[in-house]
Structure 1
């Protein structure tokens, strides 16, 4: 595909970001000193009951204040992904409860002035004979939740997923968001086994609003540091630049030091 030079962005201008949860030992101040500018806050709720209790919300409020004090951008939140909180469940009563719970978290995020929220289209495993029903349920959930998020000033993004999960190809992602024009896409390059990340990025060109960056072995997700696996990072950076991506380069790497993430990104840029 030829790039549109009027749209193309420069990866050297992108901010460097990381996924961050309450379990992580790195403080916002330390991440700022290391050279990170933005984070995605993981809302790691386990079930419906926990979402509607006040205890964990207070911990998140403290974390958001720490980010503000450190002058770190809260780029996005990652909505919870468990079997109980699966937006593709086909039981209408259960799915309604899940939608209401995710809506509650979107409302919380809106109070922090977050502009992006990432959601998993499903949990797993998903059997072949139930896939179509799950796609239909997920599509309706994404339509409703993305519309609600937009009304709160948030862009919801459905994340591509691995294995038997929904959205494990660009083709299926397009089906899921076909009736949800306000829904964006989060490209997790470590989840794509049936096509290259660059191909996925170019296919979903107009819908990608945020990214998750890590490496893997080509077989299953690993969340390794870029350069430790099989992903062609020149292709990834080139594809993102070509589609005009201008969000942060957001790492989702297991057990990574903030300084190592900054060094890794600088190394990737030097190789392009």
Structure 2
């Protein structure tokens, strides 16, 4: 089991080697790249080659890429959505193209998982004709062969909409016989939908990666763990009970004190988790 961090924390900035070095300095050994073109231009193969070199230099592993969900993201304000669940054939074709380009990064910067939203979270008021199960299935039908070709496994994420509860994602995989899909348990999202440990136990058989963040129980705050209402001691015991030994990956929003200060608090939260798990990492002594 190792700890990772999403570049979502820095999404308002152009990603560069300094971000990865700062992550490594706080003891995060894996990274998920948040694919918005204003943050990292995943259309450009040279950007992918640069990303691979930056990761190697910083000593971090490129664990995953978060599939495109919007044209841009400023703070909590979304631009036009890039949705897998739209009923519009033209918009769905665009989504498939954007996700295919994100998958193509793996040809020059190998990674394990493409984390994929099914539709749009409810709080972003999906337009009429979005979050359609049939549309999601058509999108997956197009993307799964591409992912297999570049050696990436798609991980569908628990997000706050009716398509993407823990139970619905398991049902999708089993009913549609999609064994190549895994699940990304986003624990903050799961907390907004009910009990986090129940969600963990529900997805355990398909769990391949995680998003760890906290909230106050009302909105998707993306707080540093231990700063909200989630019982992290209980949840970490749950990960051990289900036998999950993969990456525990933080997905955070920059606090009012800025991204750098949020990263330092994330490093402290990581150390606290290591203590609760009884782990002994080289980075644990700061």
CA distance in 2, matches of 1:142, 1:73: 26
- TM-score (normalised: structure 1): 0.81
Corresponding residue number in structure 2 for 1:160? 158
3-state secondary structure, aligned to 1:147: helix
Instruction: Tell me how far 1:140 sits from its aligned partner.
Output: 2.9
Unaligned segments of structure 2, at least 5 residues: 71-79, 278-286
The answer for the alignment partner of 1:125 in structure 2 is 125
The aligned counterpart of 1:4 is none
SS at match of 1:219: coil
Distance 2:265 2:242 in 1: 27
Unaligned runs of 5+ in 1: 1-13
Structure 1 residue 112: Cα displacement: 1.0
2:65 aligns with 77
Per the TM alignment, residue 165 of structure 1 is displaced from its structure 2 partner at its CA by 6.2
Q: Offset at 1:29?
A: 2.4
Q: Report the CA distance between 1:18 and its aligned residue.
A: 0.5
SS of residue matched to 1:16? strand
* RMSD of aligned residue pairs (Cα, Å): 2.5
Partner of 2:24: 32
Aligned pair 1:245/2:241, yes or no? Answer: no
Runs of at least 4 residues off by over 6 Å: none
Q: How far apart, CA to CA, are the structure 2 residues paired with 1:41 and 1:159?
A: 15
Q: Which residue of 1 aligns with 2:148?
A: 150
Distance in 2 between the 1:260 and 1:201 partners?
Answer: 25
CA drift of 1:197 comes to 1.6
Q: Deviations over 1:10-31 (max 9, x none)?
A: xxxx212101156268532232
Structure 1 counterpart of 2:106: 109
Q: Any idea what the Cα deviations from partners look like across 1:206-226, whole Å, max 9, x if unmatched?
A: 111110111001111101111
Query: How high is the TM-score relative to the length of structure 2?
Result: 0.77
Deviations, residues 68-116 of structure 1 (Å, cap 9, x unaligned): 1122111111111024421111122331232133112201223211111
Secondary structure of the residue aligned to 2:134 is helix
- Mapped partners of 1:166, 1:182: distance in 2: 18
**Range moving further from structure 2, 70-79 or 96-105:** 96-105
Structure 1 equivalent of residue 93 of structure 2: 96
| Structure 2 partner of 1:16 | 3
Q: Is the 8 A contact 1:139 1:176 kept in 2?
A: no
Deviation of residue 234 (structure 1)? 1.9
Q: Any idea what SS the aligned residue of 1:67 has?
A: helix
Give yes or no for the alignment of 1:63 onto 2:54.
no
**CA spacing shift, 1:51–1:271, aligned 2, 3 Å:** closer
Query: Number of residue pairs matched?
Result: 249
**Is the partner of 1:204 in helix, strand or coil?**
helix
Is this contact kept in 1: 2:48–2:109, CA < 8 A? no
Match of 1:224 in 2: 223
Contact 1:147 1:182 in 2 (8 A): no
Which one of the candidate residues 44, 50, 55 is aligned to 2:36?
Answer: 44
